[in-house]
């Protein structure tokens, strides 16, 4: 069958019973750890009580990247082993289908770009999958496995992909984690970081909020595993599988909130995205199956 990516998703969306299902929990409470905020009265989420939690099938046990496809109203994801893009029903968690874009590899981030889907691997190579022709263009960047790219987002303001590095920055700084911008106009990676996450600034923020020493210890583990931009505020939401935490920077790149999840409930948050209604979705890897946590905008 010659599908044109997820344009056939409307049919799958109403007849998803022919595909695999997720187990949906609608009365799930996270054993929440802590939330430290500047209380600026912006859009918030009850991060201790997800609206829904999807238990994904085993093929997405190692779900990594997560994004929302505005063309089809469907979540899209990759796992970190197979070169496949998965479509996921955002209401039920059902896997609606998959499309191959490349060989097996360590794929970490995914982002919709109009009629293309961008996927990035851990060494910073970008794969642009054309949803019409179903052809893939491979673009290498100056980043490498040492930088360990984990997250991918699209900035409309800068017309750039944002690559979040879990590993070393290009300047080899041991105190910062960096987000780099890949310019989509000229297909080049900006030399200097788009956003730098300074460990000392994170700790300073927590100290100013009288955080316990255990949280200061956990924030030392912070290493980006996913990134998304809030569609209304322009805030940067950056999660870390290490220490199971979420740091929110405002549009001016100043720390706004730091959230710690219980590591048993959400062991490895690696994907993060928003839908058109600003609802928040966070994916987490698991031993036997992955999960997607849904938080409705308040």
What are the structure tokens assigned to 245, written together?
A: 């935490």
Q: State the Cα–Cα distance between residues 132 and 115, nearest whole angstrom.
A: 7
Residue 72 within a domain: yes
Q: Return the closest-CA partner of residue 244 out of 202, 208, 207, 282.
A: 282
Q: State the Cα–Cα distance between residues 296 and 46, nearest whole angstrom.
A: 8
- The values of phi and psi at residue 11, to 5°, are -70, -45
Decide if 149 contacts 157 (C-beta within 8 A). Answer: no
Residues 6+ apart with CB under 8 A from 174: 168
Q: How distant is the alpha carbon of residue 262 from its chain centre? A: 18
Residue 25 within a domain: no
Q: Give 124-128's long-range contacts (Cβ < 8 A, gap of 24+).
A: 124/149, 124/163, 124/189, 126/161, 126/182, 127/83, 127/101, 127/102
Domain residue limits at 72: 30-295
What total of structural domains would you count in the chain?
Answer: 1
The pLDDT of residue 23: 57
Residue 226 within a domain: yes
CB-side neighbour CA atoms (13 Å) of 171: 13
For the chain, 298 residues long, give each residue's pLDDT as a single digit of tens. Answer: 333 445 455 444 444 433 444 556 555 566 667 899 987 656 689 888 899 999 999 889 889 899 999 989 999 999 888 899 999 999 999 999 999 999 989 999 999 998 999 999 999 999 999 988 999 999 999 999 999 999 999 999 999 999 999 999 998 887 899 999 999 999 999 999 999 999 999 999 999 999 999 999 999 999 999 999 999 999 999 999 999 999 999 999 999 999 999 888 898 999 999 999 999 999 998 777 899 999 999 8
CATH of the domain at 254: 2.120.10.30
For the chain, how many residues are written?
Answer: 298
Looking at residue 235, the DSSP 8-state letter turns out to be P
CA distances from 83 to 120, 127, 163, 240 (A): 11, 10, 19, 23
Query: H or E stretch including 149?
Result: strand 149-155
Q: Return the closest-CA partner of residue 220 out of 191, 247, 194, 257.
A: 247
Residue 173 within a domain: yes
Q: How distant is the alpha carbon of residue 190 from its chain centre? A: 21
What are the structure tokens assigned to 150, written together?
A: 């984990």
Q: State the Cα–Cα distance between residues 185 and 160, nearest whole angstrom.
A: 8
Residue 20 within a domain: no
Q: State the Cα–Cα distance between residues 220 and 243, nearest whole angstrom.
A: 8
Residue 11 within a domain: no
Residue 202 within a domain: yes
Looking at residue 207, the DSSP 8-state letter turns out to be H
Residue 284 within a domain: yes
């Amino acid at each position: 069958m010659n599908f044109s990516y997820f344009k056939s998703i409307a049919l799958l969306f109403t007849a998803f019973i022919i595909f695999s299902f997720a187990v949906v929990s609608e009365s799930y409470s996270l054993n929440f750890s802590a939330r430290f905020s500047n209380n600026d009265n912006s859009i918030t989420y009850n991060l201790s009580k997800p609206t829904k939690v999807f238990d994904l099938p085993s093929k997405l046990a190692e779900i990594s990247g997560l994004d929302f496809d505005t063309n089809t109203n469907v979540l899209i994801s990759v796992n970190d082993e197979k070169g496949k893009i998965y479509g996921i029903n955002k209401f039920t968690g059902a896997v609606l289908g998959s499309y191959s874009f490349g060989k097996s590899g360590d794929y970490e981030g995914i982002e919709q770009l109009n009629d293309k889907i961008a996927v990035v691997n851990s060494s910073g190579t970008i794969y642009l999958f054309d949803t019409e022709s179903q052809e893939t263009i491979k673009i290498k960047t100056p980043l490498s496995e040492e930088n360990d790219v984990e997250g991918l987002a699209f900035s409309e303001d800068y017309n750039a992909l944002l690559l979040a590095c879990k590993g070393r920055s290009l300047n080899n700084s041991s105190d910062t984690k960096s987000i780099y911008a890949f310019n989509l106009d000229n297909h080049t990676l900006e030399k200097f970081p788009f956003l730098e996450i300074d460990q000392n600034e994170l700790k300073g923020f927590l100290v100013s909020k009288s955080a316990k020493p255990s949280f200061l210890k956990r924030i030392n583990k912070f290493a980006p595993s996913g990134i998304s931009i809030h569609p209304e505020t322009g805030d940067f939401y950056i999660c870390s599988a290490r220490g199971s935490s979420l740091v929110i920077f405002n549009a001016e790149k100043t720390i706004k909130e730091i959230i710690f999840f219980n590591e048993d409930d959400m062991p490895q948050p690696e994907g993060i995205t928003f839908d058109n209604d600003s609802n928040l979705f966070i994916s987490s890897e698991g031993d036997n199956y992955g999960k997607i946590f849904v938080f409705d905008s308040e």
